[in-house]
A and B are shown apart, each in its own frame.
Chain A
Amino acid sequence: MDVPTLETDLRMLRDKVLLLGGQSETALSHAARALIQRDSTLAQQVISDDDEIDSVESEIDELCAQILTRQRNLPPEDLRFVIGVLRTTPMIERIADHAVNIARHTIKLNDEPQLKPFIDLPRMAEIVKQMLAASLDALTQRDAIRAKQTIRRDTEVDLLYRRIFNELMAFMTSDLAAVTRSAELLFVIKHLERIADYVTNICEQVVYLAEGRVIKHTPEAWLGDAVEP
């Protein structure tokens, strides 16, 4: 058997991380669709697909460990990549977990009549989906500009979160029968908001991979960066 070279190892690692990203994207898209279209079968599928996502995460961890043991003198850029992967993978996996939680709340919500037609919620889910896709594209291309653009969209999500939160609180205080469903929806928007936070963290890792600098704790240092429209 051929001994894997550093190049093939790194290529396999990159493939696996991005495939994991693709699986999280699917989980989020399916969870959002199941919620909006009230499709409990699809929600159930999101829950059962998660086991595979967890096992891919373990494979990635193992591969990183192998690379680090086999290649004692990794070039700095490759070392940064492996560290970046080790940091990013749990975030991608957590995103899928949040999608699973949305699916669980969806199944409960579907047992009861719809509270009201969703307007802001599909918009919030759509933005989060777009952010996740953009962050993975940025990761694919090590595109720091795209990553920073994506981080900026987090404020849109926070704004919608606030708005839906207030609306649901108003429902709960005015109608006792709406309390349970509103509470379920409060969880759903919290999960979406958390996913957007993880996407932000992934983007920060992309900047680290591309530019070698950590922007997590110093937003003021990069907020002024030139950003393409």
Chain B
Amino acid sequence: MGFQLDQYSQPLLKAVLGSLREGILVVDSQLDVVLYNKAAVSIFNLPAVMTGPVRLIDVSRNKTIHQGFRQVLEENKPFDAELEVFGKQERTFSFRATPLVVPPSEEVAGAIGVFFDVTQLLRLERVRREFFSNLSHELRTPLTSILVYVETLLNGALYDTENNLKFLNIVNKHATRMQNLVRDIADLSAIEAGELKLNAVEVDLRAFIENLGVLIASDLEECQVAFHQDIPPELTVYADPQALEQILMNLIINAVKFNRPGGSVSVTAKPEGDNRTRITVRDTGIGIEEEHLTRIFERLYRVDKSRSQEVGGTGLGLAIVKHLVLSHNGDISVQSTPGEGSEFRIRLPRKAIEA
């Protein structure tokens, strides 16, 4: 290319390009790559140290890249596109190519391509879109049923003594489902916004779980699932009791409802490290396929839509659990074998740290 950098500008340019997160490729009018930065090396087939011009086709076989650079050279105007780069990991980039004009000449000497990795952004966008689409579905389904039954009642079924109570019960069930969903969304928003006030105290875990066991007795009976617990005496968890109940109830109820008749749910705990308590909720249920494991903590993500409808969850339980655990400076993990069962592990502080 017909320009030279002086002794001062060259290292400066190299340092600036090297510090960019975006990959930069500069091509001349013959589509030879004459300059690139470190970020570009991690995206394309390029030697770490540049020894001379490299043909663009040897850098990438991507059609959009070639099309973009050609268009810039021929039409002297910018080109924007989204493109996928296949390699060990498939990544998506926002690609912008602009003409390179080096004064005093007014001719297009080449083109500059900037590659910005948008893989993560697109993933988050997909999660957001799915969330809203699921949310409208989750709200619409019970609302439609409510409207249908209320209309039927208004059209005379109110006086049909054989069915009116049955219809009202259905309306009640769906309204409760909507109420739970709205409550869970409000909870989740509050936790995420940091508005939730946690009043952590040292909770005696054994007594706490025993109490939960009483609360779930009817669910256990309905699903024909046995409940076991093995908590060492005097083991504590330093947590907000209301939040702890929400965490454990969510995990235990899931373990009961996604179980099989005659199966079991066990809750065990043990001290770990200096100041941690590990609680494990294990079930003998249907398990979770590996592909879903990383996504089950997402809001409204359903592994099996029909099964979830059947057991009546809001689809927000695990997202709430995860956020509550994190706001206690704890962590949560899951292991599962399809057909055999799942195991959720949470680690929470054991005692208050003395100031």
Going nearest first, the 9 A-B pairs with the smallest beta carbon separation are: A22-B61, A18-B57, A15-B57, A29-B86, A18-B61, A140-B58, A21-B61, A23-B63, A22-B62
- Are A25 and B86 in touch, CB under 8 angstroms? yes
- Are A19 and B63 in touch, CB under 8 angstroms? yes
- Are A129 and B58 in touch, CB under 8 angstroms? no
- Residue of A22, A129, A140 near B63 (CB, 8 A) is A22
Which residues of B from 32 to 89 have beta carbons under 8 Å from A?
45, 55-58, 60-63, 66, 84, 86-87
Q: Counting CB contacts under 8 A, is A117 at the interface? A: yes
Residue of A nearest to B87 (CB): A133
Residue of A nearest to B31 (CB): A15
Number of B positions contacting A (CB below 8 A): 17
Q: Counting CB contacts under 8 A, is A110 at the interface? A: no
- Smallest CB–CB gap between A169 and chain B, Å? 23
Contact A22:B60 (CB < 8 A) given known A29-B86, A29-B90? yes
Q: Counting CB contacts under 8 A, is B222 at the interface? A: no
- Smallest CB–CB gap between A105 and chain B, Å? 21
Q: Counting CB contacts under 8 A, is B195 at the interface? A: no
Which residues of A from 1 to 58 have beta carbons under 8 Å from B?
11, 14-15, 18-19, 21-23, 25-26, 29, 33
- Are A117 and B63 in touch, CB under 8 angstroms? no
- Residue of B57, B66, B87, B289 near A117 (CB, 8 A) is B289
Contact bitstring A119-158, B, C-beta under 8 A = 1, else 0:
0000000000100010011001100000000000000000
A11 to B86 Cα, complex, angstroms: 24
- Are A19 and B86 in touch, CB under 8 angstroms? no
- Smallest CB–CB gap between A147 and chain B, Å? 16
Q: Counting CB contacts under 8 A, is B354 at the interface? A: no
- Are B57 and A136 in touch, CB under 8 angstroms? no
Of B31, B45, B63, B66, most buried by chain A (CB within 10 Å of CB) is: B63
A117 to B45 Cα, complex, angstroms: 34
A19 to B60 Cα, complex, angstroms: 9
Contacting residues, chain B, for A129 (C-beta < 8 A):
86
- Smallest CB–CB gap between A43 and chain B, Å? 16
Q: Counting CB contacts under 8 A, is B291 at the interface? A: yes
Number of A positions contacting B (CB below 8 A): 19
Contacting residues, chain A, for B45 (C-beta < 8 A):
137
What are 26 sample pairs from A and B whose C-beta atoms fall under 8 A apart?
A11-B55, A14-B57, A15-B31, A15-B55, A15-B57, A15-B66, A18-B61, A19-B57, A19-B61, A19-B63, A19-B66, A21-B61, A22-B60, A23-B63, A25-B61, A25-B86, A26-B62, A26-B86, A29-B90, A33-B90, A129-B86, A133-B86, A136-B61, A140-B57, A140-B58, A141-B58
A129 to B86 Cα, complex, angstroms: 9
Contacting residues, chain B, for A25 (C-beta < 8 A):
61, 86
Residue of B nearest to A132 (CB): B86
A20 to B53 Cα, complex, angstroms: 23
Contacting residues, chain A, for B58 (C-beta < 8 A):
18, 140-141
Q: Number of residue pairs across A and B with beta carbons under 8 Å?
A: 40
- Smallest CB–CB gap between B343 and chain A, Å? 20
A54 to B345 Cα, complex, angstroms: 55
Residue of B nearest to A129 (CB): B86
Given A25-B61, A26-B62, A26-B86, 16 additional A-B pairs, CB 8 A? A14-B57, A15-B55, A15-B56, A19-B63, A19-B66, A22-B61, A22-B63, A26-B63, A29-B84, A29-B86, A29-B90, A33-B90, A129-B86, A133-B87, A136-B61, A141-B58
Of B45, B86, B90, B291, most buried by chain A (CB within 10 Å of CB) is: B86
Contacting residues, chain B, for A29 (C-beta < 8 A):
84, 86, 90
Contacting residues, chain B, for A117 (C-beta < 8 A):
289, 291
A133 to B58 Cα, complex, angstroms: 12
Contacting residues, chain B, for A133 (C-beta < 8 A):
86-87
A14 to B58 Cα, complex, angstroms: 10
Which residues of A from 76 to 119 have beta carbons under 8 Å from B?
117
A131 to B289 Cα, complex, angstroms: 29
A23 to B61 Cα, complex, angstroms: 8
A29 to B325 Cα, complex, angstroms: 39
A117 to B291 Cα, complex, angstroms: 9
A166 to B241 Cα, complex, angstroms: 55
A21 to B87 Cα, complex, angstroms: 15
Residue of A nearest to B290 (CB): A117
Which residues of B from 272 to 292 have beta carbons under 8 Å from A?
289, 291
Of B58, B61, B84, most buried by chain A (CB within 10 Å of CB) is: B61
